[in-house]
Structure 1
């Protein structure tokens, strides 16, 4: 397999399981050394997701790459800064940042706008939007010094198009904020040779999705029928688009939000 990222270093947040796990392995297969950042580096075991090694870091190393695991709450500025500092100390550079960490539901809170508790609101905005901004701010100085870098933020279909009845309202608002932040960062960092884009996943069949309470209204038969391709996404569908954005294939693409939803959203964003 070609290795267009050979010699490059990537950070993937929320990479201990699910989509972040898939992103990390794809970047490793493309040649990058990968830093695995998560609140809990054993996140896969908690939801029953099977790994091929003892950890995601070990999986990356089994592919012939170097890896580093960093635990931390990226809603805290010092933790975002520590993540980047640890990366630079271990590898001496930072070429790709994938801001994948996020969560759709706050414990003890409703999912509708009028039912979301104040604590739930702060949590959802913090994990999905604030952490993304903090990681971008922490990574920017190193990328500016290199005069190169790639940032891929993870938005959501919910940040582009409403779910039925306004479900996951604050999550959607946070992810819409990620989309706007992506465009603003592209304008700010473009003169330094840094490209910033976003992926907006539709419904993806992760282990976490399979374990969601059906009452959450995600992955319903009605939603499946609303998808032009008549299937939910797989993690590799998203990793394919990350490969495009993280390599020179997208060398003249910045400030874009790519909806990867199988045709669930068919109007301009």
Structure 2
């Protein structure tokens, strides 16, 4: 346990499974108080982890749970992790997909920042981390997903500019191929298509949720206050030659 994290109270959205679960568990292991907001309550518990259930695609339910959390906790950090892919090309993209993905990737992160901003600003070491995606650079058949994930980067950069004077940092993380339950649904172990993905990665392996979680914990740490406004790809090198330097 790192004593510095004892001053951290971090809200993580979508923390019941996958990358979000790894983030919650890593922060808790380091000594932070963690609030997980997700559509389902997980079947696991940890000391200093508090679970709240909400439909984060619904503005009223998001406001309700944010109010409850803000009334109980002095939030110092926010990790906007919750998301949805909704695959589709320009021809197949539809209004419902756009509504849901925009709600999760743009509207809800903004609303939660606004709800928790008083304590994030006043603590002197506030941290905001947006979990974007390598798809923010563009990806076939992920039109609404890539569009909104790119939007999370623009939001982060503006937050960094506006909130830096209060000691608040804002950064984004762009995961590449990460071995989660959701990834395995479309990319089963041993399948030729899965192997092609692995072969395309410079380090020749899939990322793990824990890889992402360790980076989140680093950015949330109180002592790491000079990194802000950055999009950090955690992708095993798959953005080499694509992402700007």
Fold-level similarity (TM above 0.5): yes
CA contact (8 A) 2:133 2:173 kept: yes
Q: 2:220 aligns with which of 246, 251, 257?
A: 246
Give the drift of 1:113. Answer: 1.9
User: What does residue 262 of structure 1 align with?
Assistant: 236
Q: Does residue 101 of structure 1 match 2:82? A: yes
CA contact (8 A) 1:80 1:138 kept: no
SS in 2 for 1:74: coil
Question: Residues 1-269 of structure 1: matches in 2 within 5 Å?
Answer: 1-42=1-42, 54-55=43-44, 58=45, 60-61=46-47, 65=48, 67-91=49-73, 93-105=74-86, 111-160=88-137, 162-163=138-139, 166-212=140-186, 220-266=194-240, 267-269=242-244
Aligned length: 239
Give the drift of 1:120. Answer: 1.3
* CA distance in structure 2 between the partners assigned to 1:259 and 1:135 by the alignment: 24
1:6-36: CA deviation from partner (whole Å, max 9, x where unpaired): 1321111000111100000011011111111
Give the drift of 1:75. Answer: 3.4
CA contact (8 A) 2:5 2:32 kept: yes
CA contact (8 A) 2:10 2:77 kept: yes
1:90-114: CA deviation from partner (whole Å, max 9, x where unpaired): 33x1111110000112xxxx51122
Mark the runs of 5 or more structure 2 residues left unpaired by the alignment.
none
RMSD over aligned Cα, in angstroms? Answer: 1.9
CA contact (8 A) 1:96 1:246 kept: yes
SS in 2 for 1:139: helix
SS in 1 for 2:4: coil
* CA distance in structure 1 between the partners assigned to 2:147 and 2:35 by the alignment: 28
Give the drift of 1:249. Answer: 4.8
Q: List 4+ stretches of structure 1 deviating above 6 A.
A: none
CA contact (8 A) 2:125 2:225 kept: no
Larger RCO, structure (CA 8 Å, separation 6 or more)? 2
- TM-score (norm. length: structure 2): 0.90
